[in-house]
Amino acid sequence: MKKTQSRPQLSVLLQQFFLNHLMQQKNVSPQTVASYRDTFRLLLNFAHKWLGKSPAKITLPDMDASLVLAFLNDIERNRHNSIHTRNTRLTAVRSFMHYVSTQDPISLPMIQSILAIPLKRFDQPLMDFFSREEINALLNAPDITTWCGRRDRIMFNILYNTGARVSEMIEMKVKDIVLGRSPAVRIHGKGRKERTVPIWSGTARQLREWMHQIDSSPNQHLFPNRAGGPLSRTGVTDRLKLALQMASQYCPQLQRRKISPHRIRHTTACHLLQSGVDLTVIALWLGHESPSTTHRYVEANLDMKQKALNMLKEPQQKVNRYRPTDSILAFLDNL
């Protein structure tokens, strides 16, 4: 008589998925591991409330399509996550289920129903970016008489100069800065891709001065918090919001603007585009995997569209004067 094969536990599958599949076999970046980790933290906490079971007692059959759909709806409605974030969470769950299909074939029908959950479509808003006047006001806003102000000023300059993602900037180390004849910053980007971006001489000068105010050992974070550790994404955003408030006093149009590290990145791209830099160079500058991503900046750039329109000669059309064909209409038109 054949023994029935025991099915793997959910906790074991999750551990193998992270330690063996993601980290050893695929060697994904720490940022991807962190994103997937956060997804399953949220999912297990939701399942705990939904099923009334502690996370340790939740089984694989419990994680069916109805639970996953309820989880996705919950993070949209109650956590007020964007559709983009919802799709990111679903992608993590899909990746796990693809892995489970190789470890527990009995679960294939349930897995297929989860994999059939579609990514939600969403509107692509027009990219918003700051004008030259606005970005100058922002860069000059931090108070350089304080340690935090000096850090913020060079940090914002690096954001604008390099167009780095906030995750890339907060992970910058002292060893990533090259301050020779051709100053540059080495950026560790998404998908373990590195790129080197040149910096202005003024940015390099500020960096030299900043190095004297922090621990300049190679593995020291370039922009530490007061405790010496890396700044968080929220911390960087909060410092930008503070700079926006200060800059609004001298640049009133900023009072109606919103700010985020990614908006500074958009601003860098659009200003490079306005300066005549080729799209392929901008894609390399920003670390885009596909140049098609960079084409979105053309859509946002009204000045370039206006220049293109000015190059196109307006057609000459004969204007026919309207004449009313009825006496009542003529009377009304003359009122």
**Catalytic center residues:** 165, 190, 262, 265, 288, 297
Those residues whose C-beta lies under 8 Å from the C-beta of residue 214, and which sit 6 or more positions away, are 174, 220, 222, 224
d(CA 98, CA 101): 5
Record the tokens describing residue 86, joined without a space: 């919802």
Rg of the chain over all Cα atoms, to the nearest angstrom: 27
Q: Tokens 């530490």: give the residue.
A: 224
Q: What would the two tokens of residue 81 be?
A: 């996550």
CA 63 and chain centroid, separation: 29
Structure tokens at 200: 């202005």
Instruction: Report the alpha-carbon distance of residue 153 to residue 148 in Å, rounded.
Output: 9
Query: Phi and psi dihedrals of 270, rounded to 5?
Result: -70, -35
Give yes or no for a contact between 261 and 246, defined as CB atoms under 8 angstroms apart.
no
Q: Which residues pair with 221 in a beta bridge?
A: 173
Place of tokens 């993602």: 165
